[in-house]
Amino acid sequence: MTRRAVCAAALGVTLSGSVTGTEDYVFVASLRCMGGTYGLSLPDDARQLPALGTLLREETSEVEQWDGYTATRKTLFFDGLALGVVLFSHEPSHVMVTHAEFSTPAWNHLMPFKIGQPTGAARALLGPRADSDADLRRTYGSEGDSVTFQ
């Protein structure tokens, strides 16, 4: 597949290109950004994320003050990967993924959908629900997470 894979969680993240009709969205109950059949394979400890590769830069988009801790939303930028996360001061190992955008095959080891593979491989992983989506134009998602191919 020569298209980029984008995964977004339901934490206020908007995918580029809005989903306007039900024909553009396919429900996949087990789809999650992390773990499972369709999710990313990331380190269990948030403190290990910068070691995924050469961290080019880090952008903090929001810091929320809660009772006794802070939640920090940031995007980690690597060559070919933009990884959005929420980190928690009271649980420094805990991470919530808000989005991940892959643009090079160097990161294929982190995801089940491989950049450079034919779209048929991604459709096969998604199963019959993707049979009529030859170019993977639809958004596939669950109640909280989704994946699009660009």
First to last CA, the chain: 10
d(CA 85, CA 63): 12
Out of 16-30, 73-87, 101-115, 131-145, which region has the weakest mean confidence (pLDDT)?
A: 16-30
pLDDT grade for 68, boundaries at 50, 70 and 90: very high
Question: Which residue's entry shows tokens 């009709």?
Answer: 21
Confidence of residue 64 (pLDDT cuts 50, 70, 90): very high
Q: Residue 22: is its pLDDT beyond 60?
A: no
Average pLDDT, whole number, for the chain?
84
Structure confidence at residue 16 as a pLDDT band (50, 70, 90): very low
